[in-house]
Amino acid sequence: SAVISQKPSRDICQRGTSLTIQCQVDSQVTMMFWYRQQPGQSLTLIATANQGSEATYESGFVIDKFPISRPNLTFSTLTVSNMSPEDSSIYLCSVERRTGSRYNEQFFGPGTRLTVL
């Protein structure tokens, strides 16, 4: 398995400000992922964070809004920039590990619950 921690666990922010979320993994991983879980919506992949290269963003998500850093193989940050109430959501990081002969399992952190006023 993988032990993943996130900081902060929750925050309430004002419109127009930015928040940086940290994700720490207990051992080195190649890829880390950032998801968004909006109320009543599916868990949606924002981007993949690779160490030593720029993050890869999914359709509908842009670097200016969600800049990501990946300084080493156990740590990543996601910044939610110029926030609006529509950014209120749970943000989760995850990592992928081989757990079966033909399967890579994804493990999720506990999430950061963000409320934007």
Partner 1 sequence: QKEVEQDPGPLSVPEGAIVSLNCTYSNSAFQYFMWYRQYSRKGPELLMYTYSSGNKEDGRFTAQVDKSSKYISLFIRDSQPSDSATYLCAMSESYNQGGKLIFGQGTELSVKP
Contact call for residues 42 and 35 (beta carbons, < 8 A): no
Question: Token pair of 115, please?
Answer: 């409320």
Residue pair 93/4 in contact by the 8 Å Cβ criterion:
yes
Residue entry with tokens 């959501």: 89
Nearer to partner 1, 8 or 110 (CB): 110
Binding mask 2-41 for partner 1 (x = CB under 8 A): --x--------------------------x-x------xx
Choose which of 12, 43, 62, 63 interacts with partner 1 (CB under 8 A): 43
- Of the pair 77, 109, the CB lying nearest partner 1 is at 109
Contact between 81 and 15 (Cβ < 8 Å) = no
Q: In what order do the strands lie in the sheet with 4-7?
A: 4-7, 19-25, 75-80, 68-72
- Interface positions, 87-106, toward partner 1 (CB under 8 A): 92, 94, 96, 102-106
Give buried/exposed letters for 9-35 (b at 16+ CB in 10 A, else e): eeeebeeeeebebbbebeeebebbbbb
Among 14, 42, 53, 59, contact with partner 1 (rule: CB under 8 A): 42
Q: Nearest distance from residue 52's CB to partner 1, in Å?
A: 16
Q: Among residues 57, 61, 75, 108, which is the contact residue for partner 1, using CB under 8 A?
A: 108
Nearer to partner 1, 28 or 104 (CB): 104
